[in-house]
Structure 1
Amino acid sequence: MSSHRNYYVLLLVVISILGSSVAARRVHAETYDIVIYGGTSAAMTAAVQAKRMNQSVIVVSPDRHLGGLTSGGLGWTDTGNKYVIGGLAKEFYQAVYRHYQDDKSWNFQQREQYGDRAQGHRATDDEDATMWVFEPHVAEQIFDAMMVENEIPVVRDAWLDRESGVVVKDRKIVSIKMLDGQTFSGRQFIDATYEGDLIAAAGVQTTTGRESIADFNEPHAGVQTGRLFHQHHFDVLDRPVDPYIVPGDPSSGVIPRVSADPPGEFGSGDDRIQAYCFRTCFTNHDPNRVPFPKPDGYDAAQYEVLLRCFAAGWEDVFGKFDPLPNFKTDTNNHGPVSFDNIGYNYDYPEASYKRRAEIIREHETYQKGILYFIANDPRVPESIQNKMQRWGLAKDEFTDNGNWPHQIYVREARRMVGQFIMTENHLRKKIETPESVGMGSYSIDSHNTQRYITPEGTVQNEGDIGISTNGPYQIARGCLMPRAEQCVNLTVPVCVSSTHMAFGSIRMEPVFMILGQSAATLSALANQSQTDVQEIGYDALRERLLDDGQILQNRPR
């Protein structure tokens, strides 16, 4: 988050508390058929689908930039099985393909240099080709164009008054008010945020953290000490890492970024959530490269645990510098100590705007700091440092935010407790999923939730899960809706009703786009039938989704 945006959030909070007349109270007289709160990729597809169904729709976004993570650095798309991505989601990736067919889109690199990463294994080979890798600004341009082409009004920097801004009567949301006094009335509402603020403010039940194994009979739920997936753990090193300031001496205290708290009993539930980071866009092309900046508040001592990883043989720092067009990357977390800021986000889902801004600033300082540390600290192995110094931030990305992503990767926050709860066993086809509204296929992929000290006195990470879903899976329409006794005109395509385990796969951006379209379809049909979203017949919903290109069941290639 930029300093400008942090200041704006804090200013709005102060204005709200003081009741200052500085903020003009603007009331939008029109009652929209569908009001969408959020600026994520799900909000974009929901808005377009609503308009295609002849609904009056408005997007009310707390963000200045549209597209969430898709335009915020996550350009190496987590697709899973690309053949189950249909509808408006597929249209987005087709637009990406068309963009990169124009030679003018390759301003630093020739298409042939990028090779089959653009046209082959990340692109389908059918007549309506799609492309799954892209620069952040390209995604944002496509989303902006979607809003303009469909004449959809968008209100940006609009922050929901979470304390008293949601008016609910007879289980229906009537209107939502922003901190600056803007009020939006609607017949249907869609919460398309990563945080689920509208859901919670409307009085709909939510949950955070991890369920226990016993809660839903999910074998990989809860605390998973001793289970090691991917390479995001300390067993990839040649030798263990000591957690104490003076190695071997617990009385000396614990080094930064390692928790002294016990991890919890195996299989037990807790309030921990998977780590956040920024999906950063780097380049090693000097004309477009900005050296990694030294952040305010930089403290080299925060990276002692990384130094000990280097000493223990860690060399694979660059394992997730995934290549994007024009000599850029989508750089993600990789290894035992990397860009995931493990354990520093637990209170984010329910936190005030002020506290969230503090958490985001801390994450930004940590991640900018680790980049500066690797590139500049003389204790870093020379071979790693020399290579890191050839990289930097892309000068032509996030130009209003110091070339830093405008969206932190909120891998999970609140989850609605809705009409149907998706679980690990639904994704793995051990339990049948009713009334499909779309499909996912990516593995159950949850990042670490804690870095703790083992009984043997060494550092270890916990919470990273990588479990196959054994092929594409269906997503139930009931997970998009609250229970009818709580709210009857709200749909939720992002903070869906699921367990922590199931959300580890559902949380992928193409799935959010799919569910955004399905949520809007459900809302529009409810308006057209003048009934509650829970009362829409599935046959009518299914027919419309299929007509609009959604894929609701697995199909052969």
Structure 2
Amino acid sequence: MTTGGLGATDIGNKYAVTGLARLFYRRIGEHYNKFEQWTFPPSVATATMNRFVKDADLDVLYYRRITNAKVQNKRIQSITLEDSQKPDKKTLIQVKAKQFIDCSYEGDLMAKAGVSYFVGREGNEEYDETLNGVQMSFWHQFPDGVDPYLKEGDPNSGLCWGIQPNTLKERGSGDKLVQAYNFRLCLTDNKENQRPFEKPENYDPAKYELLARAIRKMDLHIDNYLLFNWGMMPDNKYDVNNRGPLSTDMIGMNYEYPDGNYATRERIWQEHVDYTKGLLYFLTHDERVPSKLRDQVSRFGWAKDEFVDNDNFPTQLYVREARRLNGEYIMTQKNCQGEETVGDAIGMAAYGMDSHNCQRIVTNGMVKNEGDVQYHGFPPYPISYKSITPKREECTNLLVPVCISSTHIAFGSIRMEPVFMVLGQSAAVASALAIDDNTDVQTIDVTKLRKILKENPYLDGSTPEILVDDSDIDKIERSGHWQKSFGAHYKNSFLKSANQKNNCSFTFMPVIKKADTYEVFFYCTALPDQEMPEVMAFDITGKEGTKQVEISPRSHKGAWVSLGTYAFEKGNWTSSIKIDGCRSKGALFADAIILVPKK
């Protein structure tokens, strides 16, 4: 999805993004002459991914999909792949390996290998959760009173397109329903780089009747009734996502996808393409749409320089959730909220528990969406290595870092692209250890794995970065009155000084394990303008003494700002980065610093 349209990255907390995943966003930053960049158009993401492939001198087999897995003695011996564009026996190839990693959104290798898995939503009682199963909420919901019938007021006329004939079950009850898929669109309002929304071949305006009725109900509030989530990206482009009662999510039309054969999936995929193109045409041409809204949507069009080989349309369907591994450990809501922790963490998740709607039904004579959950507000939490390992009685040389072992609602938090990248790297290192130590994936030395991930995050032997957070009490000193705060911070919290007239100070004291030249970065917490200091002053003490630096944090909200490059000696507490309240202007904050070795 990172190269397929999802350019407005869902992160939650950047602290959770480590290793090669972090390097990916740093390289995106290089493209825009920044330290890091978290939003980007698909073409830039693709070029960055291709750079990784080139640097590693990899031969990638594109357009291949699995047809068979040969398993013997609980180990995958080989897999058979076919060319998805020319599915013929002549295109079949067999791949033999000691270890396998299933990084697909669908978990096809996992399933072909006979590994057990889940599809759908567990009932709350199964794992002592509260947000799983059936959830009727006000998020992305129809206003009250939207008639569900083809002929309004006449149940005998049948249901409008897009409504499932399901009955609303008890809150928290489990089922086999799957949260909605969509395409993350790359649109632009730059007329010189724009293609208009054209009428698709299979256009059917009846698919949008419910939207017309919903708009009619909300007409007085049309300015606030946004039908898309516009994620702004560089280059005058937008990552357009679902929002509201009927948008780009094709609710209830993907139930056959997780376990479907390739023909079934291709049909569902094409139905999503037709629906999405038709939606944009409807919003810009149908007279049931108020002219003001038609004009607003008509400002945008397909970005002509994106997906140039695919009619400027995204190349990847957003399969938010399909199969989920039933592994050695199952991540649940308790992990997300910190009620249960693990000691074998190989990555962190940091986004809220997020599920899109799973069904559109009739209740109390009205059309309603069901399944949306938006629960945020908890800090990053660890993901167990055992959650990417199948049960040892099922398969001992397979790791599953995408369709990981978790409940539906926990997966809703874990399922973010940066997390998948982190888990993918962890799985790769774990597989290498299993080969080197001639052992099963379930019995590798996880302590050794974690050490490699921490000390060699880019897998190139380079000096690792040094992070000091406000919560690292053995590496900080402070004077004056500071209070712990929460919000758009790095890691678990940040600190704020009590008032604007202060002589307080806050000192980060990094432990330097290798004498080197480092660039120092300070994290500017994203505070409201009225709470941001006008100037923050720093004293940076290193090998060549103390130097003074001042920054304007208001122009760096939610980002790292460079304080310069300095030589630091090896040792504990011999170097420091001090926030000087006397020279600063305004109430201060202290969140985190990193020292990045200069190559």
With structure 2 as the length reference, what TM-score do the two structures score? Answer: 0.74
- In 1, Cα distance between equivalents of 2:59 and 2:73: 28
Aligned pairs for 1:201-240 within 5 A: 201-225=112-136, 227-229=137-139, 232-234=140-142, 237=143, 239-240=144-145
Q: Distance in 2 between matches of 1:420 and 1:141?
A: 36
- The residue that corresponds to 1:190 in the other structure is 101
Aligned to 1:347: 256
Q: Which amino acid aligns with 1:88?
A: L
Equivalent residue, structure 2, for 1:176: 79
Q: 1:426 offset after TM fit, Å?
A: 0.9
Distance 1:264 1:464 in 2: 15
Q: Which amino acid aligns with 1:263?
A: L
Give the match for residue 329 of structure 1.
238
Q: State the distance in 2 between where 1:443 and 1:432 align.
A: 17
Q: Contact 2:227/2:244 (CA < 8 Å) preserved in 1?
A: no
Partner Cα separation in structure 2 for residue 319 and residue 339 of structure 1? 8
Report if aligned partners of 2:379, 2:492 keep a CA contact under 8 Å in 1. Answer: no
Distance in 2 between residues matched to 1:216 and 1:519, nearest whole Å: 26
Find the counterpart in structure 2 of residue 270 from structure 1: 175
- Partners of 2:135 and 2:193 in 1: how far apart? 43
Question: 1:317: Cα distance to partner?
Answer: 2.9
CA distance in 1, matches of 2:131, 2:492: 28
Report if aligned partners of 2:121, 2:175 keep a CA contact under 8 Å in 1: yes
User: In the alignment, is residue 443 of structure 1 matched against residue 345 of structure 2?
Assistant: no
Matches of 1:435 and 1:525, distance apart in 2: 15
2:398 partner letter: L
Deviation sequence 1:303-342 (CA, Å, 0-9, x none): 1000001101163235512111111100000111111000
Say which SS state the counterpart of residue 97 (structure 2) adopts: strand
Which has the bigger relative contact order, CA under 8 A and spacing at least 6?
Answer: 1
1:79 and 2:28 matched: no
Distance in structure 1 (CA, Å) of the matches to 2:423 and 2:186: 27
SS of 1:338's partner is: coil
Match of 1:168, SS? strand
- Aligned to 1:187, the other structure's residue is in SS state coil
Distance 2:447 2:492 in 1: 20
8 Å Cα contact 2:188-2:236 kept in structure 1: yes
Q: Distance in 2 between matches of 1:501 and 1:190?
A: 24
Name the counterpart of 1:431: 340
| Bigger share in helix | 1
2:274 maps to which residue?
A: 365
C-alpha contact (below 8 Å) 1:452/1:462 kept by paired residues:
yes
Residue pairs, 1:392-407, within 5 angstroms: 392-407=301-316
The CA deviation at 1:538 is: 2.1
CA-to-aligned-CA distance 1:368-409 (integer Å, 9 cap, x gap): 101000001112100000111121101010111100000000
In 2, the alpha carbon distance for the partners of 1:92 and 1:312 equals 45
Q: What amino acid maps onto 1:200 in structure 2?
A: A
The percentage of counterpart residues that share the same residue type is 44
Match of 1:155 among 61, 68, 93: 61
**Which residue number in structure 2 is paired with residue 98 of structure 1?**
30
- Determine whether 1:487 maps to 2:395: yes
Cα deviation code 1:6-57 (max 9, x no counterpart):
xxxxxxxxxxxxxxxxxxxxxxxxxxxxxxxxxxxxxxxxxxxxxxxxxxxx
State the distance in 2 between where 1:488 and 1:469 align.
37
Flag structure 1 segments of 5+ consecutive residues without an equivalent: 1-68, 102-118, 120-128
Tell whether the 8 Å contact from 2:70 to 2:78 is kept in structure 1 after alignment. yes
Instruction: Pick one of 382, 390, 411 that aligns with 1:503.
Output: 411
Q: Aligned partners of 1:547 and 1:174: how far apart in 2?
A: 33
1:290 to 184, 187, 195: 195
Secondary structure, aligned partner of 2:96: strand
C-alpha distance after superposition, 1:238-282 (max 9, x if no partner): x52111122222112111112232132322111101000000000
Contact kept? 2:16, 2:419, Cα under 8 Å: no
Instruction: Give the corresponding residue for 1:28.
Output: none
Q: 2:430 aligns with which of 522, 532, 546?
A: 522
Shift of 1:459: 1.1
How far off its partner does 1:294 sit? 1.3
Q: After superposition, what is the alpha-carbon deviation per residue over 1:141-193, rounded to whole angstroms, capped at 9, x for unaligned? A: 111111111111101111211xxx21111111111111322111101100000
Name the residue aligned to 2:204.
299
Residue type at the aligned position of 2:184: R
Deviation (angstroms), 1:537: 2.0
**1:87-139 alpha-carbon deviations (Å, 9 max, x no partner):** 111000000000112xxxxxxxxxxxxxxxxx6xxxxxxxxx21101010110
In the alignment, structure 1 residue 541 sits paired with structure 2 residue 449: yes
Asked whether the 8 Å contact 2:227–2:247 carries over to 1, the reply is no
User: Any idea what SS the aligned residue of 2:168 has?
Assistant: coil
Whether 1:387 aligns to 2:290 is no
* Structure 1 contact 306–337 (Cα < 8 Å) conserved: yes
Letter in 2 for 1:356: R
1:281 is paired with a residue of what secondary structure?
strand
* Aligned-partner Cα distance in 1 for 2:161–2:402: 33
The answer for the alignment partner of 1:20 in structure 2 is none
Distance 1:501 1:469, change over 3 A: farther
How big is each residue's C-alpha offset from its partner over 1:182-207, in whole Å with a ceiling of 9 and x where there is no partner?
11110110000000000000011111
CA shift for structure 1 position 469: 5.4
The alpha-carbon deviation at position 478 of structure 1 amounts to: 0.4
Q: Deviations over 1:482-539 (max 9, x none)?
A: 0111111111110000000100011000000010011111111111111111111222
One-letter amino acid matched to 1:228:
F
Partner of 1:242: 147
Partners of 2:320 and 2:442 lie apart in 1 by: 28
**Cα distance in 1 between the residues matched to 2:449 and 2:15:** 21
Determine the C-alpha separation between the residues in 1 that align with 2:95 and 2:146: 54
Secondary structure of the residue aligned to 2:276 is helix
Letter in 1 for 2:237: K
How far the C-alpha of 1:224 sits from its partner, in A, is 1.4
Q: Is the 1:427–1:469 contact (alpha carbons within 8 Å) kept by the matching residues of 2? A: no
Residue matched to 2:557: none
CA distance change for structure 1 residues 263 and 548 in 2, over 3 Å: closer, same or farther? farther
CA RMSD of aligned residues (A): 1.5
- Residue in structure 2 matched with residue 462 of structure 1 by the alignment: 370
1:211, 1:221 within 8 Å by CA — same for their partners in 2? yes
- Tell me the distance in 2 between the aligned counterparts of 1:273 and 1:83: 30
Q: Residue type matched to 1:490 in 2? A: L
